[in-house]
Chains A and B, each alone.
Chain A
Amino acid sequence: MVTIAASLGAALAAAQLVPVRVSNPPSRGALAAPADVHGILSRSCYDCHSNETRWPWYARVAPLSWMVARDVEIGRREINFSEWGGYLPQTRKRKLQWMHRSLGGESMPPWSYCLMHPQARLDANDRAKLRAWIDTQLKDGDSADTR
C-alpha cells in the first residue's frame, strides 16, 4: 500500500516536469461587439476562445494542466475572438454560423467547463441575445468588426 502510494506520488511529481504552454499571446484584432454581447462572450467563451484566458490554479498542476492546455489550444484554433481581425470575411462568416448552431444545440459552453465555472452557463436570454447579434452580423455581411 505504501509502495503504491509512493509510486503514485513519484509519478505525480514527474508529471509536473512535463512542460505545458499556459500563456496569453497579445491580441491581434479582437472582436468588437456591443457591451452586453461582449460581456456574455467574455464570461462564457473567452477562457477557451480568446487570448484572454483566465488560467485557474489547477492549470499549472499536472495532469489537469494537460487537459486545460489542450482544451484552450483546440478552442483557440476553432475560434479565437482575439484574432478576429486576422480572419478572412468568409472565415468570419463560417465561424458566426457555427456559433449560431452551437448556441441552438446548447453544445457550448461544454457541461464539463460549466461544472468548474458555473458563472459561464448561458441562460435562454444570453443565447437569444448572442444569436440575435450573430444574425445581424451575418445579415450585414461584414461579419463583425474588430477593435
Chain B
Amino acid sequence: MAALRYLACSAAFAGVLFSGISSPLAAQDDPEIRFENHQFKPQTLTVPAGRKLTIRVVNASDETIEFESFKLNREEILSPGETTTVHLPALSDGTYDFYDDFHQDVPEGSIVAK
C-alpha cells in the first residue's frame, strides 16, 4: 500500500515537472503577433486551417491597446509590455481581420487560414 502511494506521488510529481517543462516549449512554438512602433507585426499571419490554434499577442509598445477581431469574436486589452494568448477554434479557409480598437490609425492586420 505504501509502495502504491509512493508510486502515485512520484507519478503526480513527474506530471507536474514535465508539464512545467513542456508548457513553455509549446508556448514558444505558438505564432506571435507583436505590437510595436504603433503597428502590428506581422500584418498578415498565415495559419493552418481546420485545426485549433493559439496565437500569442505581445504588446511591445508603451501604449495600451485592444487586440480585436470581430470575425474571430475576440477582444483583449493589453497594457504596455503585456502578452496574452488567444485561443482560436479550427478556422475555415479565409481571412480574419484584426485591429487595435483603441487607435484608429493603426493599420489593420489579418490572419489568413489556409
Q: Chain A interface (Cβ within 8 Å of chain B)?
A: 74, 77-78, 87-88, 91, 94, 97-98, 101
Contacts and interface: CB of A to CB of B under 8 A. Distances in A.
B101 interface: yes
B66 A78 contact: yes
Nearest to A88: B104
B18 interface: no
Interface string B48-89: 000000000000000000101010010101000000000000
A94 B70 contact: yes
Contact of B70 (A74, A77, A87, A97): A97
Given A74-B77, A101-B73, A91 B66 contact: no
A78 B73 contact: no
B66 A87 contact: no
B84 to A, nearest CB: 15
B73 A94 contact: no
B102 interface: yes
A-B complex: 6 closest residue pairs judged by Cβ atoms = A91-B104, A88-B104, A97-B70, A77-B102, A94-B70, A98-B70
Given A77-B66, A78-B66, A94-B70, A87 B101 contact: no
Contacts of A91: 104
Contacts of A101: 70, 73
Nearest to A93: B70
Nearest to A105: B73
